Structure 1
Amino acid sequence: MISAETEVHQSDTVRILDLFAGPGGLDVAARFLGFESVGIEWDRNACETRYAAGLQTIHADVSVMRETRFDEIPKTVDVLTGGPPCQSFSVAGNGAGRLALDTVKEFMHRLVHGEDEAEIDKDLHALGVDPRTALVLEPLRWLLKAIETEGREPYNLIVLEQVPTVLPLWEVYAELLRRGEGRLRGVKYEAECWALKTEEFGVPQTRTRAVLVARLPAEGAVASLEATHLPFDLHRGKYDPAQSDMLPTDSVIPGTRRRWLSMAEALDAASRLDDSPVDVSRLRTNGEMDFFVVSNYGSGGDPKNRGRRLSSEPAFTVTGKISRNKVYKSTAEYEAGKSDRFTIPEAGVLQTFPHNYPWSGNDQAQQVGNAVPPRLGMHILSRALRGRAPSDEELAVAATWPTVPQTYTEELRSRGCGDESRCPPDSHKVSGAPRESAL
């Protein structure tokens, strides 16, 4: 494993380019597996978290970076990863992306078969859909850019993730990559895509992600991901939310996968680590974790029907509004309207970030909710890069993030935001000194 303390002053160790990198979900996963990455991220707050965590970062717009600064990406990069913004595709969003799925598929084919990108962009704009919808095309554009740029090679491996409604687009990606037609210039990939349930990989939350993995044939066939835990039954019936003893307590069922991980188990384990910022003493009753959570979102199409989860169950999908979920220790507290909230470190743990991950900047709840769960990322990247699941030792070590020297954080910030004029517009109030390169 590469330590987060390792000061990487040169870019010749970087293998992974992470588009829409966020606060570091996939980068954290890569680091614990021993791979160095660089992320491109538009949001300044997420960049601040990344700098504090010691993750190489370029504060830039992904599209602008591809169009005008592609030469700054290390030539050692042979893995492309990304999770384009999902709001317009999400069930929780306005759904513009879901309505435009067929149209986006058409644009994917147009890109590959050589139509002018300026015309494609013009047509996309004319649709009047959420501009973020078009960002799902960016990984394809980055691949085409690599193929068409002299001195560059096609990526050996591509890993993409999004909300489950994007799975039909990943299927089109896979089809195009297998054919290698048009601008792909005969470059063909072995490609597969799946809808993965995070709780089946040890993430203490129910969350489904659409994942695409594509590899050049020389890298071997794409292996299916093997779940390590049982799925959580979302239709388990009605029960008193204060009664946790109505749920099974067996941690391992002989001859099968392990049971899903609960909120109580994850938070309790994190709270017992040295110098942990996770303090769940307020959630204990007679020394035991016993609480229930009322979701900020409605269920069954009824906004007033707030879902509920017991502490002995996985969390709801962790979104940028997790701080609006209400936590109660008893039915009496619920009836009295006396609720608690998850802290940012606790929300991070439910996403499987290390308990002491250095969340920084503003909008931290949104950062947490936007991220890929690192534990899921470890399973995806390990299987894609190494052909096997991460070891129990690697997963155990991933509970704690090593301290990053402040000097290195400042160096990363200087390299990522040193020339603030190259950062996204209006992202800095005070201009800084110029610098020669992003890396």
Structure 2
Amino acid sequence: MINNQLISIALFAGAFGLDLGIEEAGFYTVSVVEIDADATKTIVLNRPYLSESAVPRDIRQVSAQILLEEGGRVLKLGRPLLPGEVDLITGGPPCQPFSTAGKRGSVIDPRGSLFMDFIRIVQEIQPRFFLMENVKGLLSSPIRHRPHNKRGAGYPPLEADEMEGAALQAVLTEMKAIGYKVAPSLVEAADYGVPQTRARVIFIGSQKSEIISLPKPTHDRNGLKGVPIWLTLRDALVNLSDPKPEYVPYSKQRLKYISLLKEGQNWKHLPDELKPEAMGGAYKSGGGKVGFYRRLSWDKPSPTVTASPHQKATDMCHPVELRPLSIREYARIQTFPDNWVFYGSVASRYKQIGNSVPVKLAYAIGKHLYKLIKDEKLQSTNYEQISFFEFEQFKNLIELKQGKDKVSEQFHEMLAYALKNEVDFTPKKARSLASYFADITDFLEAKEENIKNLKSISGKNVLKLTDEEIIKLSLYKKSGFLSAELTVAENYLAVISRVFTQKQLDMVRSLSLKHLNPNPFLIRALNLDTPDEVVRLNVYMAATRSIVTSMGFFIEDLLVTSSDTVEKAPKKSGWDLVKTSGDGEKSWLQIKSGPNNMDKDQVVYWAEKIQDKVKEGDKAYIGFTYGKRTTRTVTIGLLKQILPDWEMQTLIGKELWNFLSEDPDYSSKLFEVLRKSAHQVLHQNSLSEEIDSCATRVTDEFIQEFGDGVQGVSNYINSIF
């Protein structure tokens, strides 16, 4: 910090998107490094004061001292900047080796790439923070890629550097080696007001001991959590003045097919006889191919902006016009201001924009860091992190696809739910405590003395537990209820199941005669002549009412926790659940308990709703939580008659659970979790045995108050009627 001004240096600056957001957050960029000639001219056109450093140059030939000298001249210090005076270094080393949109090379070792020049400069300049951005593909990239036809039986096991996630581990190791604490996170740009779904990996490195979490999202996919819904393409382009849009026109051959499509459609909506011709060799290839002949939808966020909107596999066709998005439309989606000038050919400008970090995303992160440096109060996705977390405990912040759980919102929700319902913490205290742990192992292994008085990185007590709460927490950790051998989803299922079973058990054990209030008309109509007959029937009726009332919520919770891609649908939609795939495709579900729970009017209504969703380009299903497709029921008969392609638009029993979880063995795992959870609560008993025990106890209560036999029943009736 110089004269109360926060200083930043931009590496791999591109068209300045990341650094423009950082600048708007309060930082001042004093030097840039970028090799692309057009991108450097873009920077100079918009920031003339950077003309000395904004020249095409290879970072491998740039020393830290040169950058410090350039910064000193921009600030007119009369001397170079000194190591430690720079507050932030930003950059996104070239992402192509890790990108899931292209072919990965056979060797992807970040330690032999430009990434190491980023590390070199950070180490020599010693900024307070560094911010590095990269593509999602980095999370699962090996260092050496072994062809799939050389894996499995007859081949040696994968070596460490051939495992998915090996490249990420190498990156984290190098960052740690230069003395920085690192908090990597997978972020969705749409959560920060960007009208585009764009998942990126963000690394925030801190020179001090704290772990820096991301700022709270400003938007939400469904407008929940007290923030607005994601912005759409319509929001992005509203009031855009672009009278002569610049774009690369489609060929006549491409227009032949695109002209047949409506807003929100892609090649899948072409007539069946044209699909092979339109797709060529890609027709029989794997993958969803959702980018082929894609017309955008006004009322959804834009898909991820790439280096070109007119390539066959990454079409970004205007919703109603027969052209790709224009340069200015592209820039709007990346949240560049309208007065930002891009230099170069149309193709070059597309590339500069597509490779940028969205300005609004950069601003949100930059403002977060600005407030931290200025010692202002942070609003973060997590509560303040406690100091005993070490670097290694944050490795799993990113899903490595190696069978390990990612530390996610689902984990914190699960632990908070468990602490509230199984340890009897208040909701606020449960959420606060859960936020301090990176994963289940962290929670189970944390020492009581560290948990009792949790401190923030500033040393402030932020959560104080009583001795009684510490004892309950210690017993819970030792109970075996949570297991590091299970996934987060499996633990969540187990907690939900135990809570459900425990509530039913508590209800049965709390029943007394005054709760039952047996109906005298029913007693006489059913010829119930003894206290045992009266009480037993009413105990079973009370238990059944409670179970049936709770069962719907229980099943819904099980469905939602089956996968982190499943969530409750917005109430106004009328649907129960929505599942969103990795490429953004939505599947809407109306859930029924069994395959005989719909009458004709309901089937007609949902058949129309399904067709509406299909027309919008989504998928939609009626799901039954149990049953089989071969079962003969009235509902299945109606579905066959009324619902077009009923077999493709219904999910019955195992089909539903396996579809939601994307695990063909999920239903088997689910029942095993339910069985074990019930055993943990009921031990060797069943709820039926508990009900019998309750009936015996309440019968004794009845006899004590009203007498035994027929006379006792008559005495009871006379007392209330």
Fold similarity call, TM over 0.5: yes
Give 1:95's match in structure 2, choosing from 92, 98, 104: 104
Match of 1:80, as an amino acid? I
Which structure's CA Rg is the greater one?
2
Contact conserved, 2:38 with 2:343, CA < 8 A, in 1?
Answer: yes
Match of 1:139 in 2: 118
Match of 1:223 in 2: 213
Match of 2:16, as an amino acid? G
Match of 1:416 in 2: none
Q: Per-residue CA shift, 1:117-153, capped at 9, x if unaligned?
A: xxxxxxx5xxxxxxxxx11222112123x1xxxxxx5
Match of 2:357, as an amino acid? V
Match of 1:155, as an amino acid? P
Contact conserved, 2:25 with 2:364, CA < 8 A, in 1?
Answer: no
Aligned residues: 295
Quote how far apart the aligned CAs of 1:154 are: 1.5
Match of 1:61, as an amino acid? D
Query: Which has more strand, going by share of residues?
Result: 1
Match of 2:335 in 1: 352
Quote how far apart the aligned CAs of 1:311 are: 1.0
Match of 1:396 in 2: none
Q: Per-residue CA shift, 1:338-366, capped at 9, x if unaligned?
A: 71221111100001111221112231001
Match of 1:15 in 2: 7
Give 2:287's match in structure 1, choosing from 293, 301, 307: 301
Quote how far apart the aligned CAs of 1:78 are: 3.1
1:157 aligns with 2:144: no
Match of 2:339, as an amino acid? N
Match of 1:64 in 2: 61
CA–CA separation in structure 2 for the residues paired with 1:157 and 1:347 = 30
Say which SS state the counterpart of residue 310 (structure 1) adopts: coil
CA–CA separation in structure 1 for the residues paired with 2:103 and 2:215 = 31
Quote how far apart the aligned CAs of 1:327 are: 2.9
1:310 aligns with 2:297: yes
Quote how far apart the aligned CAs of 1:68 are: 8.4
Say which SS state the counterpart of residue 200 (structure 2) adopts: strand
Contact conserved, 2:190 with 2:197, CA < 8 A, in 1?
Answer: yes
Say which SS state the counterpart of residue 264 (structure 1) adopts: helix
Match of 1:228, as an amino acid? T
Contact conserved, 1:161 with 1:211, CA < 8 A, in 2?
Answer: yes
Match of 2:361, as an amino acid? L
1:256 aligns with 2:246: no
TM-score, normalization: structure 2?
0.37
Q: Which runs of 5+ in 1 are unaligned?
A: 1-9, 108-123, 125-133, 147-152, 233-251, 281-289, 331-337, 391-439
Quote how far apart the aligned CAs of 1:14 are: 7.1
Match of 1:25 in 2: 17
1:369 aligns with 2:354: yes
1:52 aligns with 2:37: no
CA–CA separation in structure 2 for the residues paired with 1:349 and 1:199 = 14
TM-score, normalization: structure 1?
0.59
Quote how far apart the aligned CAs of 1:300 are: 5.9
CA–CA separation in structure 2 for the residues paired with 1:221 and 1:304 = 38
CA–CA separation in structure 1 for the residues paired with 2:301 and 2:264 = 11
Match of 2:98, as an amino acid? F
Contact conserved, 1:196 with 1:211, CA < 8 A, in 2?
Answer: yes
CA–CA separation in structure 2 for the residues paired with 1:216 and 1:278 = 49
Structure 2 counterparts to residues 263-282 of structure 1, below 5 A: 263-268=233-238, 270-271=239-240, 276-277=241-242
CA–CA separation in structure 2 for the residues paired with 1:143 and 1:52 = 27
Q: Per-residue CA shift, 1:362-410, capped at 9, x if unaligned?
A: 31001111111111111112222323469xxxxxxxxxxxxxxxxxxxx
Match of 1:65, as an amino acid? V
Quote how far apart the aligned CAs of 1:293 are: 6.9
Contact conserved, 1:15 with 1:35, CA < 8 A, in 2?
Answer: yes
Contact conserved, 1:292 with 1:327, CA < 8 A, in 2?
Answer: no
Query: Which has more helix, going by share of residues?
Result: 2
Say which SS state the counterpart of residue 368 (structure 1) adopts: helix
Match of 1:194 in 2: 185
Which structure has the higher relative contact order (CA within 8 Å, separation 6+)? 1
User: Percent identity, aligned pairs only?
Assistant: 24
Contact conserved, 2:194 with 2:334, CA < 8 A, in 1?
Answer: yes
Match of 2:27 in 1: 35
Match of 2:228, as an amino acid? R
CA–CA separation in structure 1 for the residues paired with 2:326 and 2:3 = 35
Change (3 A) 1:257 1:195: same
CA–CA separation in structure 1 for the residues paired with 2:316 and 2:202 = 31
Q: Which runs of 5+ in 2 are unaligned?
A: 72-80, 140-164, 246-261, 268-277, 373-377, 381-721
Change (3 A) 1:72 1:166: farther
Quote how far apart the aligned CAs of 1:257 are: 2.9
CA–CA separation in structure 1 for the residues paired with 2:117 and 2:3 = 23
Contact conserved, 1:157 with 1:215, CA < 8 A, in 2?
Answer: yes
Match of 1:206 in 2: 197
Give 2:94's match in structure 1, choosing from 85, 94, 111: 85
CA–CA separation in structure 1 for the residues paired with 2:88 and 2:319 = 45
